Amino acid sequence: DSGVTQTPKHLITATGQRVTLRCSPRSGDLSVYWYQQSLDQGLQFLIQYYNGEERAKGNILERFSAQQFPDLHSELNLSSLELGDSALYFCASSPTLNTGELFFGEGSRLTVL
C-alpha cells in the first residue's frame, strides 16, 4: 500500500460526458502528479501540483484540467470525453518537489463507450 488513494477505481461513461477523478496523496506529501497509461503505452505525464500550485505540465489535453485543494487532495477533470480517452489514470505523490521517487496510487480505469 503506497498510501496514495484514488477514486473511483473503475468508471464507465459515454462519449461527450465529463468525469472527475480524485486523489489523496500520502500523508505529508505536498506534490501530486497525474499520469495517463493508454493501452500498450508507457505512463505519460499530464500535470504536477505542489502545495496547491501548478508546477509542470505535460501532454495534457485542453479538455482536461486539474487542481490541488488546500487539504492537498487533487482532482483531474476530463470533459467532452472521446473513445481515445479510455485509459488508466494514475496519481502519484512525493514529499518534495525535486524527486523522481514517486508513490503511485492503484489508478482509476476509465472506459469511454
Partner 1 sequence: DQQVKQNSPSLSVQEGRISILNCDYTNSMFDYFLWYKKYPAEGPTFLISISSIKDKNEDGRFTVFLNKSAKHLSLHIVPSQPGDSAVYFCAASARSYGGSQGNLIFGKGTKLSVKP
The least CB distance from residue 113 to partner 1, in Å, is 22
What b/e readout covers 47-73, taking b as 16+ CB neighbours within 10 angstroms? Answer: bbbbeeeeeeeeebeeebebebeeebe
Select 73 or 79, whichever has its Cβ closest to partner 1.
73
* Residue whose C-alpha is closest to residue 86's, from 17, 25, 5: 17
The least CB distance from residue 106 to partner 1, in Å, is 5
Q: 108 has which bridge partners?
A: 89
Binding site for partner 1 (CB under 8 A): 2, 4, 31, 33, 35, 40-45, 48, 55-56, 58, 90, 92, 94, 97-107
The least CB distance from residue 31 to partner 1, in Å, is 6
